[in-house]
Amino acid sequence: MICELCGKAIIGKPYRIYVEGAYMTVCESCAKYGKPADSVKPLIGKHVDKVKKTYQDIPEYEIIDNYGQIIRNIREEMGLTQDKFGLKCGIKPSLLAKIEQQRIIPDYQTLRKLETSLKIKLMRQPTSL
């Protein structure tokens, strides 16, 4: 293998580095002229598309007004503590406590977990006026 910077044969471990917008395989003594390739994370278009798609899969929704009270009432009817209920539906008890106090609005995935566990609807279609 030949060093792409100095043109000498690479003896030992070749180094992948990032120099002025390009990736190069260089020898040990040239490695200091660039950043290690591992530390450079270029933005790949494919990755961006994937994120966008995931976002689109989440439908628009509004959470019902008194969700915290409703969740707590049903949990208590089931005779479960926040710890036990959190375990049952896969939500951290500390997060569950904040949701019940309506200090945070749960994200879509969390809402779905709650709806499934409680067998109730916590979301509604957005009201368009």
Part of the chain binding Zn ion (CB under 5 A), chosen from 20-28, 41-49, 56-64, 117-125:
20-28
| 31 counts as binding Zn ion under rule CB under 5 A | no
Q: Which of 15, 17, 24, 30 binds Zn ion (CB under 5 A)?
A: 30
Could you write out the DSSP letters of every residue in the chain?
A: -B-TTT-PBPPSS-EEEEETTEEEEE-TTTGGGSEEGGG--PPPHHHHHHHHHHHHHSPP-EE-TTHHHHHHHHHHHTT--HHHHHHHHT--HHHHHHHHTTSS---HHHHHHHHHHHTS--EEPPP--
| 5 counts as binding Zn ion under rule CB under 5 A | yes
Residue 24 or 91 with smaller CB distance to Zn ion:
24
| 27 counts as binding Zn ion under rule CB under 5 A | yes
Residue 24 or 99 with smaller CB distance to Zn ion:
24
Residues that bind Zn ion (CB under 5 A): 3, 5-6, 26-27, 30
